[in-house]
Amino acid sequence: MFLDQYLPFVGLIIFGNIENLVLSSQGVVAGVNPLKLGIFSIIVVICWLAIGTFGTQIALPYVDFIDFFGGFIIFVLGAQAMIESIRGE
C-alpha cells in the first residue's frame, strides 16, 4: 500500500498537526495579522509536505530516533504554549 512507508511517522503527523493549531492560535491571540499568519502557515505546510515526501526514504532507518525527539519537541512546545497562556503573556 502507498501509505505503508508513512506508518512509523503517524504519531508525529497527528501530534505535529495539533501543535501547528496551538501555535497558530497563539499567533492570533498575540494579535498577528491572520492573513499573513495563514499564508505563512500554508507555505510552511507545503515545505514540510515536500520534505516529508522526498525525505521519508532517507529517514526510515532513523524512525525511532525521529519519533522520540519529534515527540519530545512537540511536548515541550505544547507545554510552553500552555504555560504562556496560563500566565496571560
Residues in CB range of 12: below 8 A, 6 or more apart: 66, 67, 70, 71, 74
Q: Does 27 reside within a domain? A: yes
Question: Which run of H or of E encompasses 27?
Answer: helix 10-29
Alpha-carbon gap, residue 1 to 83, rounded angstroms? 41
> Consecutive sets of 10 residues in the chain, 89 residues long: mean pLDDT of each?
71 72 75 82 81 77 83 85 77
Q: Does 5 reside within a domain? A: no
Return the pLDDT at 89: 56
Residue 48 exposed, middle or buried by CB count within 10 Å (0-12, 13-18, 19+): middle
Return the pLDDT at 1: 65
Return the pLDDT at 38: 80
Alpha-carbon gap, residue 10 to 67, rounded angstroms? 9
Predicted model pTM = 0.47
Its domain, for residue 79, covers: 11-87
Return the pLDDT at 41: 79
Return the pLDDT at 10: 74
Return the pLDDT at 33: 84
When divided into structural domains, the chain yields a total of 1
Q: Does 34 reside within a domain? A: yes
